[in-house]
Amino acid sequence: MTDVLLNNEGDIAPGASHTSGLQETVQKIAIRLKTHRGEWLLNEDEGIPYLSWVQARNTPLDDVESVMISEIEAADGVISVDDISVSVQGSEIDIRAGVVVEDYGLQEFQEVIKIGE
């Protein structure tokens, strides 16, 4: 399976090339983690409730990690999350995970989500 290659901002990359394999799986994980709950018009229940976490100010990291694991494992090509670390620095959430990817084994994954942008 192939998908359109996106740049770091989530826009279609210049030249509209395609991605497949490990790069496609990593891109699918990033898209899932960058989708804020309520932003997708066709299903406002999709996405991660970043805004409610920020408003709550003290959401337990275990709860955040659990949601992140579920989102990562829902991406096509992902077998499981081996380990995960989530840290919150102001309006940024830093996610680091060991992800077992079909045909590629354990891969290190990192994504920084900026809340409010």
More confident residue, 54 or 86: 86
Instruction: Please identify which residue in the block is written with the tokens 């996405």.
Output: 47
Tell me the whole-structure pTM to 2 decimals.
0.85
73-94: average pLDDT:
92
Asked if pLDDT for residue 52 goes beyond 90, the answer is no
The Cα–Cα gap between 113 and 26 comes to 15
Identity of residue 24: E
Residue 82 near residue 72 (C-beta atoms within 8 A): no
State the pLDDT confidence band at 59, using cuts at 50, 70 and 90.
confident
Asked if pLDDT for residue 2 goes beyond 90, the answer is no
Q: Is 25 left (phi over 0), alpha (psi -120 to 50) or beta?
A: alpha
Give the CA count within 13 Å in the CB-facing half-sphere of 88.
Answer: 15
The fraction of the chain above a pLDDT of 70, given in percent, is 97
State the pLDDT confidence band at 108, using cuts at 50, 70 and 90.
very high
DSSP 8-state code for residue 70: H
State the pLDDT confidence band at 5, using cuts at 50, 70 and 90.
confident
Backbone angles phi, psi at 98, to 5 degrees: -95, 115
State the pLDDT confidence band at 1, using cuts at 50, 70 and 90.
low
| Strands 18-20 and 2-4, sheet pairing | antiparallel
